[in-house]
Chain A
Amino acid sequence: MEYILETDNLTKKYGNINAVDHVSIHVQRGEIYGLIGRNGAGKTTFFKMLAGLSKPTAGQFTIFGEPASNTVKLRDRVGVLIESPGLFNSMTTFSNMKIQALSLGMNDDGYLHELLNDVGLSGKENVKVKKLSMGMRQRLGIALSLVGRPDILLLDEPINGLDPQGIVEIRELIGRLSKERNITILISSHILEELSKIATRYGIIHNGQLIDEFTHQELLKRCSERIEIRPSDPTKACTVLEQMGITEYKVVDQSIIQVFERLTESGEIVLELAKNNIKTLSIAVKNEALEDYFLSITGGAKT
């Protein structure tokens, strides 16, 4: 499996607080990896370390298989949009693009116009940034991150503060970039619902820790119908489930077992557990929305 970006126990401490705590993610070429976490979960700090803006306290990461310390030459292959786009408001859209291009040693104005066209800002070249809408500024930020013809894009909360129309535009743009330019994208958000429409793989970050990593198919499965059992002895209950031929299950919080198959056989499961002297404290068939699923694994109120 070729991973274009891998982190190994990446950690960032501020005093005694672990902003990012031993996070290991694996991003394959061409993927759109969605990093989901509530505000303050550590997403931006994590992105800053990957972008070379912040030094990890511990751990390491590789880009294109090269350790971060050796990837200086590769850094222009990584496009970055961290939080809000860094733009010179009193300058025009094109001047901002030009500044980014010059810093990378590029002098191809035609390509810059092409990029502006790609992000839907054609005709806005001479408009001052302060006159652009929030969505346009965000698209300009993405255009800036594309100037170096990157293979990886790090997009931190690109839909933050956008209206529904703006969110749709950015989502379509990201999907298009992934398909047409074959760019691997690492995108963060606190809205799982939104990321689920574009991401192919997910990581859930909570209190600085990566608490889960799964594919889009797995997400759909997890949010689909399931039986939730709270047995008196979860470990023994798992053995019983396996004896019954049930393999698609997951233990949550060391006390709840979620079963994703044979959803009409809850009665048989209870009976089989009882035969093995395991009490069923509760059992229910559940079906969760994406946001509810996210909240259930991060264990908190909506942000």
Chain B
Amino acid sequence: MRNLIKMNLFRMRKAVSTWVLAIVAVAIAILDFGIMKIYVDDPFNWGLGEIIQMEGGMDMMKTITGFLRGTDLLIILAIFVVIFTNAEQKCGFDKNIIGITKNKWKQTLCRWLSAMIGVTAIMAVSYGTFTLLSVVFMNSFVLGDMLAYGKIMLIVYLFYAAFSAVFFFFTTVFRSSAGGLVPSLLITTGVLSLISKLLDLGANKLFNNPKLLPSDFFLEGAFSAVSNEASNGTLIRVVVTAAVYIVVALGLSMFIQQKRDVR
């Protein structure tokens, strides 16, 4: 498995798409920072900057987790995961190496683990850029509760892993970049949240229980609930939801790859 991960990382490093997407991720961080700066400086008196203000200055946790929870970076990661994990099958390279191991699921797992290393790197570059710009260009920046900040960051990262596993699953099932990208982008852009809201309405009517919200268990629904103001119960629910998505999406991808012939 170590060999396969080393191979995947070499491939990732040599792929032009990796660097292009990393640059786009940095550009998004700069763009998002610019928008935030406009909100805070508020030249048009919109009053939006107050959302991320706290006593003594800007709330770092709200600012950065707000950036990471946005869909811009998630879209970049969706594109990265789909392109990276589909590359071997697209060019036929998998035919050269897939027979090496009896357990094809191991190759699948290695591919996802390698993709997660890439996701982490792109996320770190983007996060680093945003944080650096915030520290340099914002006059007053309050760190706040670092423990709570770390906890939220870990949960956000867990969701990135869950989203990556789902993107990877679609790519594995459809065996094409387009097949992987379309559902992945529908998820990240929030189009599918319309369906989850409809399910909420249906469930409410059916069981006459306004607390029963299927959207809470949709990945994007659970992700939107991640915040430092969320209760422990909510955070536990979202963590379990993300973990279940990782296990199911990854498990199914490995199962499919193990059982299926290589084209």
Contacts and interface: CB of A to CB of B under 8 A. Distances in A.
Interface of A: 48, 51-55, 69, 72, 75-76, 78, 80-91, 95, 98-100, 102-105, 144-145
B100 interface: yes
Contact of B262 (A48, A85, A95, A104): A48
Interface of B: 3-4, 6-7, 10-11, 14-16, 87-88, 91-102, 261-262
B261 A89 contact: no
Contacts of A72: 101-102
B21 to A, nearest CB: 14
B101 A54 contact: no
B102 A52 contact: yes
Given A83-B92, A103-B7, 5 more contacts: A55-B261, A82-B92, A83-B95, A85-B96, A99-B11
Contacts of B102: 52, 69, 72, 75
Interface-centre pick from A88, A95, A145 (highest chain B CB count, 10 A): A88
Contacts of B10: 95, 98-99, 102
Nearest to B10: A102
Contacts of B100: 52, 75-76, 103-104
A93 B67 CA distance: 40
B243 to A, nearest CB: 30
B262 to A, nearest CB: 4
Given A54-B261, A55-B261, A86 B92 contact: yes
Contacts, number: 85
Contacts of B7: 99, 102-103
Contacts of B97: 100, 103-104
A71 to B, nearest CB: 9
Contacts of A69: 102
Nearest to A54: B261
Contacts of B87: 88
A80 B101 contact: no
Contacts of A83: 92, 95
The secondary-structure label for the interface of chain B is helix
A15 B88 CA distance: 27
A88 B262 CA distance: 18
A87 B262 contact: no
Given A48-B262, A83-B92, A53 B99 contact: yes
A78 B99 contact: yes
A86 B101 contact: no
A86 B99 contact: no
A100 B3 contact: no
Nearest to A76: B100
B102 to A, nearest CB: 4
B91 A87 contact: yes
A99 B93 contact: yes
A58 B161 CA distance: 40
A291 B155 CA distance: 67
A174 B91 CA distance: 24
Given A53-B261, A54-B261, A88-B93, A75 B99 contact: yes
Contacts of A87: 91-93
A76 B10 CA distance: 20
A84 B14 CA distance: 22
3 closest cross-chain pairs (CB), A and B: A52-B99, A86-B92, A102-B7
B3 A104 contact: yes
A84 B16 CA distance: 23
